[in-house]
A and B are shown apart, each in its own frame.
Chain A
Amino acid sequence: MKKLKINGNTLLLLITIALFVVMYAGGMAAYGAKGFSRLQTFLDILKTNAGLICMASGLTVVMLTAGIDISVGALVAMDCMILACGMEAGIGAVPMMIIVIVIGLIFGAVQGFLVGYLEIQPFIVTMAGMFFARGMTAVISTDQKSITEQINPLFYKLANIKIKLPFGGYVNRKGVYMAPNISVGVVIALLVLVLIFLMLRYTKFGRSLYAIGGSEQSAAMMGLNVKFTKMKAYILSSLLTSIGAICFCLNTMAASVQQALGYEMDAISSAVIGGTLLTGGVGNVIGTFFGVLINGTISAIVKTNGKLASSWPSILTAALLFLFIVIQSIFAAIREKQKG
């Protein structure tokens, strides 16, 4: 029997998970009476954040290569706007979703080419991508769009499908049994999460990402195709963002120029809280998932409380980020010490 060795990175992940559990349990203790302890509350966090889970998974992939992609929030806005306008113009929901995904692939391919082959700083490239996508959203339309049943019945139906779970329900005041449910977006997000997890762990591409983040020069000298791998990372990020945008749109049923503003920062902070290092080579989508959940729980607690100002989630996230960066550097220092 092999002994399970816990290294610093696994420990960090455990801390993230523990933090989520503590925070959630705290929420249940404080707001149990307001329904916080129901399974549905948790599922709603998933529902609200389904898009974010997809985007943050993509960002994790990019961050593993020591890169960054700040275009994701703007790309969500553009995708949603395209979805809304396309359907308004009478195009079907399925073709529109395919179009959005293809746009994601092309968008990512351009950014990936610039970063991978022309070796331009990812921050600059994706900042340009961000301005482009946000600008294009306004070019397409500056209106507040909302997708109604009249505009596209299929999309509307998709948004309102409630997949009931066979457990964890409760009986409401009227004596009706309420089964907990999840949306299509949640299913997509969880699927993405599992696939990316497997991809990172069990494919050549996944391992190459870690190698490049560990040392780009070494990866090249070991014969890996660094340029193409980096390009693929950015393609994947934009693709997952587009998938995330569909989840996001299914949840909000709206589009506007100001949509998903600052979402890239939410995605990055989730990945960082989940233990992904900006310097690359370390991280995991499981951590990122819990990072999203922690952010989501903070918002849910503030919302359930109802009296706290809505600025509290930002402040708490700031505190958490700070905490995690400190813990990470303490670990790094300990590791150096053990070695030396």
Chain B
Amino acid sequence: MEKDVVLEARGITMTFPGVKALDNVQLTLRRGEIHALMGENGAGKSTLIKCLTGINDFESGEIHIDGIDGPVKNHSTRDAQNVGISTVYQEVNLCPNLSVAENLFIGREPLTAIHTIDRASYNKRSQKIMDDLGISVDVTQNLENYSLAIQQMVAIARAVDMDCKVLILDEPTSSLDDEEVEKLFVLMKSLREKGVAIVFVTHFLEQVYAVCDRITVLRNGTFVGEYPVEELPRVKLVAAMMGKDLDDLAAIEKETVDIKNAEVVIDANGLAHTGTVKPFDLKIHKGEVIGVGGLLGSGRSELARSIYGADKANTGTLKVKGQEVKINQPIDAMNLGMGMLPDDRKAEGIIGDLSIRENIILAVQAKRGTFKPIPMKKQEELADYYIDLLSIKCPGREARINQLSGGNQQKVILARWLATDADFLILDEPTRGIDVGTKSEIQKLVVDLAKQGKSIMFISSEISEMLRTCNRMVIMRDGEKVNELSGEDELTQDGVMAAIAGGEKVNG
């Protein structure tokens, strides 16, 4: 091996039933570097990582590790830890029923003289670890009491606290806010100083350029190349990931709806849900894409949920197409022609053990009622139609949905709601955790749907994508609708930021 190389994987090939996930892929990690592993959803990043750590069994290829003779084959995370590889997997992999401290130390607990675990000692050390990270938690409380962001930080803290030569972080920033990401970067940089090789997977391109030294790009399970970060500017990186140039990213034609003349589809008057959203008025027109902006936790999702009946509104009135209606639960909303793609797709969206077809027809079936099954033929048609329309990458309509990559799962859920032929669709973070290419496809789809006369509520943390798709934006702050922006001059990055921040307009 080359000098300074701590891990080298060559010719890794691995197939899942029906999908060749990796084909002759290589990865070289050097001492004291942060190495970005990039690729679209489904490119095989997580699979490669799981091959390195022994979760996936690859068919051919070799892994060499500095200081160990001959190829290394891990059979479990434990083996990987023993050869100095510590990993944070993409899905938060902790135990919700154990305390934060236990999650940090389980499997490597300090022991007392009589070989029992030393709770006091690891509770103290855990508290220090979390305090050092600037995260205020009571480490003796169960993990399930904390938010996803904190859980993610715990997973990171666990991996970082283990002595390792290689640290692998698979999309660790997906549910962190800017401040937490900053803390993570400080941590990563200090580990780099100590000579640890870090593999970093992320969908945020700016994060790559903020900390990484080198980039390996995968596409469709194949190795595209390895580049020093200076030699691969953003546009080239995106091109390498997608295999095509990406000048059409911005080319989304927004339809300018004539709001005054269009039919009002949703008309909320003083609608509110105690504790989450304060009373708000909102009109949504036919063929309009309305964005909902605000910080995380400002009540964006809750606004949508109160319209959709997921949180039953306790005051106010709601008119749908001019008719006053009472929505007690989501099925009422569905019957009125609404659909909602929830933001927590794991908890509220996908049903992992069902096939793609079954996941797609779920909402249509619910709308029809359990006792009127949809003929199989029709189900298959629907599934094939949407797999094609949304170009869902999968081995076939009968594949289990949890075999798909995150972005493709997201498309399946989207298909579920499109299949109900809803006139009013609420999309809560439809592009979260998916790659740039799919993102722009979904954005295009949203605009296309609006052109066909559907009304869409688009909730997103990314202002730029809402600016590209929305005709109008609602701004939320602390559970209150504080502003409504429309028109070229108000719908700008600065304008929206200022409205969200709530202060004076920020300049420069």
- Report which A residues bind B (CB closer than 8 A): 5, 7, 198, 202-204, 207-208, 210-211, 213-215, 217-225, 281-282, 335, 339
Contact = CB atoms under 8 A, between A and B. Distances in A.
A335 B144 CA distance: 9
Contacts of B158: 222
Interface stretch (B101-109, B326-334, B416-424, B434-442): B101-109
A327 B508 CA distance: 57
A203 B80 CA distance: 24
Interface residues of B, number: 30
B282 interface: no
Interface stretch (B89-97, B127-135, B191-199, B234-242): B89-97
B216 to A, nearest CB: 23
Contact of A225 (B78, B97, B111): B78
Contact of B106 (A207, A282, A339): A207
B256 interface: no
A218 B109 contact: no
Given A220-B77, A222-B94, 7 more contacts: A214-B95, A214-B97, A222-B95, A223-B107, A224-B106, A224-B107, A225-B76
Given A223-B76, A339-B145, A207 B93 contact: no
Given A202-B119, A203-B117, A222 B93 contact: yes
B96 A214 contact: yes
Contact of B93 (A7, A203, A217, A281): A217
Contacts of A210: 95, 97-98
Contacts of B55: 220-221
B97 A282 contact: yes
B46 interface: no
A222 B144 contact: no
Interface in B283-311: none
A221 B98 CA distance: 15
A208 B107 contact: yes
B98 A222 contact: no
A207 B96 contact: no
B93 A215 contact: yes
A124 to B, nearest CB: 19
28 contacts: A7-B141, A198-B116, A202-B117, A203-B115, A204-B111, A207-B106, A208-B107, A210-B95, A210-B98, A211-B106, A213-B97, A215-B93, A215-B94, A215-B96, A217-B93, A220-B55, A221-B89, A221-B93, A222-B95, A222-B106, A223-B77, A223-B78, A223-B81, A224-B106, A224-B107, A281-B95, A281-B97, A282-B97
A176 to B, nearest CB: 46
Nearest to B311: A340
B142 interface: yes
